[in-house]
Amino acid sequence: MKGNKHRSLSGKISGGQLFGFLLVAAALSLCGTCNTVDDVVFAPDPPGAWYRGDLHVHSTGASNDTGGDSWPSAIAERAQEAGLSFVLLADHSNSTGSDASTTVEDPALFNQGPEFPYWDSAALFSMPGDFLLVQGNEISPVKPSISLINPTGHIGCLPPDLATFDTSTVFTDRPMGAVTGGDALAQARDAGCWSILYHPYAAASWIRYDWRDFGYDAMEVWNGTGGWDEHDERSLAAWRCDLISGRNVVPVGGSDNHRVNIAPPGGGTDPALGYPYTAVFAESLTWPSIVEGLQAGKVAIGEGESFLQLDAYDGEGSLAEGNQIAFLRVRGSVDAGAENPVLELLRITDCADNRTVNQLGPDLTKEVLLPVEPEPGESFDLVQPIAPQPGVYHAIMRSDNGHYGALSRAIVIP
């Protein structure tokens, strides 16, 4: 690890099962009455494990433009080969139930449904405790004029309860220009979906969100198409701005994979399955446990072996919240494929939210608490003493090649 004093930790760390280094931060005076790092024994992680999944995957026969080989059976097989524990099929509402083999808009096929054509197939390919395949949806309105001034937005529908969810729901996404992104989000809520705002900023301007409704449950802050890019940076800023504004929004990542046989990490507009992944800390690999972890925001996002886990402790080393926080701890690892990775622990204190007037993304006021340059292939355990000042605390690791970065959850001190 470049430019930082550190010493080794013995043994393994519970939860993430990562070993590595403890950074003894120089700014201990920030911590007030808390103990020094050397005095603290951190509490073990609660029972559970990290399960990696992909919350944005398209399948042949339900979404158009899938290359013809992304059947649910193939997705389940490749996902398990890639080490994923769960996959959400998020097929486009404009093509489920119509002609998914064509990209031509046929008005005779608008809003036909059914929106969950592989619901039963997904259950057949699921093995509780080993792998979960769940059918969701991507409500996909667009406007007829493809331009920067005509965003709409795509809303992911994640069924929170597989036993009670109404799969007969039909989403209305057409005619073109008749359905806004806000309309789509309202439909997701009415259907009982746990709603995900997919790619709120994107290279394709017509699928960007129109910010007519802020009532989503989660935001896709990293969309796999093209690797980490400026549009993901804007989405990340939008999520942080939501937190500063008091909204409880969970960050997720999704590959947006349309062709399951793309080799990792993918290229151009063809991301590989699980690039990026969303990891969820859950008690067990069951859908209720995964949903509970998602709703609680116990998430991490990354590519390959890159991973970031952020936790907060009081001066005695117990897990803490709010003004009881004395230490922030960042555990993780860097994939060997990362180029010149840089890890930052940030405190965001303010947001100039301009989302309703342009597509540039919010402007944030932030400070860097912990800049680190880890080596590719390295694992680490970093501790930063803090004074519990209000703000959003968040860790991010970027890589020069746009792949193999990672994002942590956020810790909010009101």
Q: Give 200-223 pLDDT, tens digit per residue.
A: 999 888 899 999 999 999 999 999
CATH for 177: 3.20.20.140
DSSP letter, residue 152: B
Average pLDDT in the 360-377 region?
95
Of 393, 408, 253, 252, nearest to 331 by C-alpha is 408
Q: Which residues contact 47 (CB under 8 A, 6 or more apart)?
A: 283
Per-residue pLDDT, 18: 33
Average pLDDT in the 385-410 region?
97
Residues 281 and 373 in one domain: no
Q: Which domain holds residue 26?
A: 6-47+305-413
What residue spans of 62-202 are helical by DSSP H? 72-81, 119-124, 181-190
- Mean pLDDT (the chain, rounded): 88
% of the chain with per-residue pLDDT over 70: 86
- Domain boundary residue, one of 273, 301, 329: 301
Mean pLDDT check: name the lowest of 24-33, 109-118, 258-267, 327-336.
24-33
Residues 126 and 268 in one domain: yes
- The answer to whether residue 38 sits within a structural domain is yes
Per-residue pLDDT, 4: 33
- The answer to whether residue 199 sits within a structural domain is yes
Q: Which residue has the higher pLDDT, 77 or 18?
A: 77
- Report which residue type is found at 361: G
- Domain boundary residue, one of 276, 301, 326: 301
Residues 377 and 277 in one domain: no
Residues 294 and 405 in one domain: no
pLDDT in tens, 286-331: 999 999 999 999 999 999 999 999 999 999 999 999 999 999 999 9
End-to-end CA distance of the chain, in Å? 33
* Cβ atoms of residues 216 and 202 within 8 Å: no
Per-residue pLDDT, 62: 85
Q: How far is CA 29 from the centre of its chain?
A: 34
Q: Compute CA distances 351 → 198, 248, 360, 361, 364, whole Å.
A: 21, 15, 13, 10, 5
Per-residue pLDDT, 277: 98
- The answer to whether residue 382 sits within a structural domain is yes
Average pLDDT in the 9-28 region?
31
Check pLDDT > 50 for residue 60.
yes
- The answer to whether residue 1 sits within a structural domain is no
Q: Which residue has the higher pLDDT, 411 or 148?
A: 411
Residues 289 and 319 in one domain: no
Determine how many CB atoms are found less than 10 A away from the CB of residue 290.
Answer: 25
Per-residue pLDDT, 100: 62
Residues 119 and 244 in one domain: yes
pLDDT in tens, 119-149: 999 999 999 899 999 999 999 998 876 655 6
Q: Which residue has the higher pLDDT, 64 or 224?
A: 224
Average pLDDT in the 214-242 region?
96
Determine how many CB atoms are found less than 10 A away from the CB of residue 30.
Answer: 16
Of 407, 211, 207, nearest to 308 by C-alpha is 407
- The answer to whether residue 380 sits within a structural domain is yes
- The answer to whether residue 251 sits within a structural domain is yes
pLDDT in tens, 25-41: 333 333 334 456 777 89
Q: Which residue has the higher pLDDT, 97 or 332?
A: 332
Check pLDDT > 80 for residue 354.
yes
Residues 185 and 331 in one domain: no
Please report the sign of the dihedral spanned by the C-alpha atoms of residue 23, residue 28, residue 34, residue 35. Answer: positive
- Name the pTM for this structure: 0.91
Residues 310 and 277 in one domain: no
106 vs 97: CA distance, rounded Å:
13
Average pLDDT in the 353-374 region?
92
Please count the structural domains in the chain. Answer: 2
Residues 297 and 309 in one domain: no
Q: Which residue has the higher pLDDT, 236 or 27?
A: 236
Per-residue pLDDT, 152: 93
- Domain boundary residue, one of 301, 321, 340: 301
Residues 229 and 293 in one domain: yes
CATH for 316: 2.60.40
- The answer to whether residue 61 sits within a structural domain is yes
Per-residue pLDDT, 14: 30
Residues 62 and 35 in one domain: no
Per-residue pLDDT, 108: 66
- The answer to whether residue 291 sits within a structural domain is yes
Residues 259 and 314 in one domain: no
